[in-house]
Each structure stands twice: as structure tokens, then as C-alpha cells.
Structure 1
């Protein structure tokens, strides 16, 4: 097996995290919200367990959806704003060299 083709899980995760930094942020936020809501479960008062769990799920999913939305906006910005401006600068540089 070619060592260049082989990639362990940790380096693959790091590479993916650099490509889209909102994925680890979404995962971290998800687990943070779940941990916080599980700790607050003792102090839920007269709220039913099912309602508490539904609130926890909605909060965690909302955070993940928000992170995914920001990730899509970020990747669209890189693709449609930064790349065309870099291409325009390259064309201008090429025209100046002639």
C-alpha cells in the first residue's frame, strides 16, 4: 500500500476539519448542549422527562443546523467570491507582464 494513499482516521479528520471548520464546531456544540442539558436534568422541576429530552434534542439539532448553514455560506463565499477575485488578479498580472 502506497503511504501517500494511506490516511488514518485522525489525519483524515484534521484534513476535513481544515476544509470545513464548521463541522467540528457543530459537533462540539452538539455534545456541549447535550452534556449541559443532561446535567440540568436534576433541576428540571415539574417538567416531564419527555419534554425535557425534546427540548434538549431541538436545541442540539438547532445548533448543528446553524453550524451547517454557516459552513455552506462559508464554502459558497470561498467558491464564488474569493476564487473569481484571485482569477481576476491573475489575469491582470498576466496582462501587466506582456
Structure 2
């Protein structure tokens, strides 16, 4: 009794997207996403760098300032992205 493995149909699975390909697709759709991510990373890196040279400032105050700066950058990038998408949708769209 011989079994031929080519007779059995194999299930077809959709290739799942990787995180990098999802980020690249999102970047093409809205270019302010990578700007927000980069700004957030820059604020955190600068805050960590300044952590040693904060002087007499308490640690909690320094961390609060860092958090507010990072959130402000993200909100600013989101606002610019929304304004850009509204411009593309309503003003730059050719009239039919």
C-alpha cells in the first residue's frame, strides 16, 4: 500500500503581513506617522540624556516634563496629519 502525498490538497494560508510592512504601508497612507514616531523617540532620547544633568530638579518633575513633551509632539504630528489628509481630500481633489 503506497501513499502519494501529492494527492492530498494542502490548505492555502494567506501570508500575514509583518510589522515592518504594516508600518511601511501606513507611512505611505499618512506620512506623519513616522514623523510622530521619530519625534517621540527623539524626545525620549533627549530626556534620557538630560537625566544625568538635571541639576536640583526632582526625578518625578523631570519625568513629567519628558512625558508632556513626548505627548505634545505626538498630538502635534497627529494634528498635522489630519490637516494634511483633509487638504488632500477636500482641497487638492480635482472636481469631477
Quickly name the TM-score band, shorter chain normalised. 0.7 to 0.9
Structure 1 unaligned blocks of 5 or more: 92-98
Are 1:9 and 2:19 matched, yes or no?
Answer: yes
Q: Which runs of 4+ in 1 moved over 6 A?
A: none
- Aligned CA RMSD, in angstroms, stands at 1.3
Structure 2 unaligned blocks of 5 or more: 1-12
- In the alignment, which residue of structure 1 is the partner of 2:76? 66
Query: Aligned partners of 2:21 and 2:40: how far apart in 1?
Result: 22
Greater helix content = 1
* Structure showing greater Rg: 2
Q: TM-score, normalised by structure 1?
A: 0.79
- Paired residue secondary structure (1:68): helix
Aligned residues: 84
